[in-house]
Amino acid sequence: MGKGAVVGTAVVACAAAAAAVGVAVVVSRRRRRRKEAEDERKRKAAAVVEEVEQAFSTPTALLRGIADAMVEEMERGLRADPHAPLKMLISYVDNLPTGDEHGLFYALDLGGTNFRVIRVQLGGREKRVMKQEYEEVSIPPHLMIGTSTELFDFIAAELEKFVRTEGEDFHLPDGKQRELGFTFSFPVHQTSISSGTLIKWTKGFSINGTVGEDVVAELSRAMERQGLDMKVTALVNDTVGTLAGGRYLDNDVVAAVILGTGTNAAYVEHANAIPKWNGLLPKSGNMVINMEWGNFRSNKLPSSEYDKALDFESLNPGEQIYEKMISGMYLGEIVRRILLKLAHDASLFGDVVPPKLEQLFVLRTPDMSAMHHDTSHDLKHLGAKLKDILGVPDTSLEARYITLHVCDLVAERGARLAAAGIYGILKKLGKDKLPNDFSQQRTVIAMDGGLYEHYRKFSTCLEATLADLLGEEAASSVVVKLANDGSGIGAALLAASHSEYAEAAWF
């Protein structure tokens, strides 16, 4: 090989080496930039998560302050303060079931797009509920926006058909009229145990001619048109019905709480502690109060940017503030809003924000619960849920763990705030401490609603928080008890305890 060839080869080799070095430098720079970008993304994600942790923090001292605020608002409502967020509605239920009730009673439970008709045969303290039957009926959509007459005629017709199926196991004594408890879960201004005027329709109903009218009178006229000989003896809210059903099974029940799609509470108040009560005090000395506690609000409630945005964009801004923090309608939506911020600020689900994540209420609380209860090491079930709901084909393990943590933060805050509300009721009743004689009298809270019943981590956290607020000694006497589907049977029991044929058995 000549000298020139050798030199040429060396030059080519040097050029190739230089090119290789250049490529390596480029690759190294790209890797460094990718690592820097990934580190920056992780830093942003951590910053959002830290901000949420701080905003959703509910230290015990804060919960005690919220409970005190709840007591203060309860007292304002009982004084009929027009500016009180808690209306503390008088239910006119002054004698709850005792277990001595006898006879055949019906209930109608209307609270949404379905209603239930129920009948029970009661056999007194020894036999209790001897037999019960029910039927669920869907309301045709056109009746939800039709006229009052059309709606109540449909309901009365279905009730009349149900009565016609009454078998030999159910017995109505001669000369007695069938009696009905009517659970009506819409805002009502109650004027007696068996009358109340509709304030407004909710839950998708928009019916002319009923607002301001007595809903019991509307139902009674419809039953007459169907030739149905039945009298409404009790008009009740579903929470009051749950309280009645709980008391029937356990005489130590003092309050009922519903934690489902929405939330509410009712409790037994001393009649002389109700300044707005006009007229004779009830013989029992007690009165059930429907708190409508979903509308509780206080500057002590830890309202985050996500809560404020949710409220602002809701159909009822400024209302139901407490409900929007603790109920099943909203928990999944709060999680969605936090994940959306993580997607925008920290590319949690990749470079493109999943379009479905922009949709209001696309993430429901049952989905949140299913993700939260995933115990697999790689959270594969949570990942499958995110794929089904958000359309993200593949999520990183980091994204799945962050999602799990967000669910934990939102559920824990909701459960702890709900526990603070229950603690407030116990404080109002003076049952937050053991009696001076240290007697172990039980205090029972009847709980109903799918959120409490099915979201195990939520209910476990609620009970643990309530025990912490009460302290070891007082907590030993307080029992939280599931009263599954108590509102329907509770209405029938209230029809029995307020029957015109029975002597009142007071509290």
Give pLDDT tens digits for 390-442: 888 889 999 999 999 999 999 999 999 999 999 999 999 999 988 766 566 89
Told to judge if 307 belongs to the known catalytic residues of this protein, a careful annotator would answer no
Strands 195-198 and 188-192: antiparallel
Whether 188 and 170 have beta carbons less than 8 Å apart is answered as: no
* pLDDT, position 28: 65
Nearest to 204 by CA among 143, 149, 265, 158: 143
At what angle are helices 397-428 and 380-390 packed, to 10 degrees?
A: 90
Question: If pLDDT is split at 50, 70 and 90, which confidence band does 111 have?
Answer: confident
Question: If pLDDT is split at 50, 70 and 90, which confidence band does 506 have?
Answer: very low
For residues 445 and 479, what is the distance between their CA atoms, to the nearest angstrom?
6
Please identify which of the residues 35, 203, 283, 387 carries the catalytic annotation.
203
Residue 299 has pLDDT above 80, yes or no: yes
Mean pLDDT across the chain = 90
Question: If pLDDT is split at 50, 70 and 90, which confidence band does 504 have?
Answer: very low
* pLDDT, position 439: 62
Question: If pLDDT is split at 50, 70 and 90, which confidence band does 21 have?
Answer: low
**Contacts for 252-255: CB closer than 8 Å, 24+ residues apart:** 252/441, 252/442, 252/443, 252/444, 252/479, 253/444, 253/445, 253/446, 253/481, 253/483, 254/429, 254/431, 254/443, 254/444, 254/445, 255/422, 255/425, 255/426, 255/429, 255/445, 255/446
For residues 351 and 364, what is the distance between their CA atoms, to the nearest angstrom?
25
Question: If pLDDT is split at 50, 70 and 90, which confidence band does 323 have?
Answer: very high
Task: List, for residues 142-170, the tens digit of each pLDDT value.
Answer: 999 889 999 999 999 999 999 999 988 88
* Core vs surface per residue 277-315: b (16+ CB within 10 A) or e: beeeebebebbbbbbbbbbbbbebbbbbebbeebbeebe
Mean pLDDT for 40-57 is 93
Question: If pLDDT is split at 50, 70 and 90, which confidence band does 20 have?
Answer: low
Told to judge if 203 belongs to the known catalytic residues of this protein, a careful annotator would answer yes
Residue 312 has pLDDT above 90, yes or no: yes
Residue 331 has pLDDT above 60, yes or no: yes
For residues 41 and 49, what is the distance between their CA atoms, to the nearest angstrom?
12
**More confident: 35 or 60:** 60
Please identify which of the residues 94, 153, 214, 238 carries the catalytic annotation.
238
For residues 183 and 206, what is the distance between their CA atoms, to the nearest angstrom?
19
Question: If pLDDT is split at 50, 70 and 90, which confidence band does 507 have?
Answer: very low
The alpha carbon of residue 371 and the mean position of all alpha carbons in its chain are separated, in whole angstroms, by 19
